[in-house]
Amino acid sequence: MTDQSSPAIDADAGKGGFIAKVIGLKKRWRAYKVRVRALPEDYRTAVDAIERYLMHFVPADGDTAASEFEDLADLFERAAADGTPIRQIVGDDPAEFVEGFAQNYTKGGYVPDRERIRLTSAIARAAGDDSGNEKRAA
């Protein structure tokens, strides 16, 4: 049986090219998700809401997106270890916090109002200050 592999793929893999990059990004994403699952429930809820909101921004490339989520996990892991309240991390306006965070990594994006409401409600629940006055979109 002859080798059916493409010379372009072989050369690409040898140089750490596209295929290696995609596999590497997938491994980084999986490692990030494992880290998030290990967070205490309230912190995990906050990170999940922020992650969903961040998906509306356009990162410069895959490496930048992976770094953004890894930095998010770092932030919440440290906060959980130090016992820092979620509100102290994100402030009173979670959308403003996330948009400021994302500016370090993105080229911009459009976030629908419903996602702002969803983020604000999820953070309120995670922070334990959901008064029931906010619209629940999650």
* SS3 labels along the chain: CCCCCCHHHHHHHHCCCHHHHHHHHHHHHHHHHHHHHCCCHHHHHHHHHHHHHHCCEEECCHHHHHHHHHHHHHHHHHHHHHCCCHHHHHCCCHHHHHHHHHHCCEEEECCCHHHHHHHHHHHHHHHCCCCCCCCCCC
Which sequence spans correspond to the domains of the chain?
9-127
Across the chain, mean pLDDT equals 82
Position with higher pLDDT, 90 vs 10: 90
97 vs 9: which has the higher pLDDT? 97
Tens-digit pLDDT profile for residues 66-116:
899 999 999 999 999 999 999 999 999 999 999 889 888 876 666 778 888
In this predicted structure, what is the pLDDT of residue 19?
Answer: 79
Would you place residue 6 in the very low, low, confident or very high pLDDT band (cuts 50, 70, 90)? very low
pLDDT of residue 107: 66
Model confidence at 1: pLDDT above 60: no
Whole-number pLDDT of residue 2: 47
Q: State residue 20's pLDDT score.
A: 76
Q: pTM of the prediction?
A: 0.71
In the chain, % of residues over pLDDT 70: 77
pLDDT confidence of residue 108: 62
- pLDDT at residue 135 above 60? no
CATH number of 9-127: 1.10.1900.10
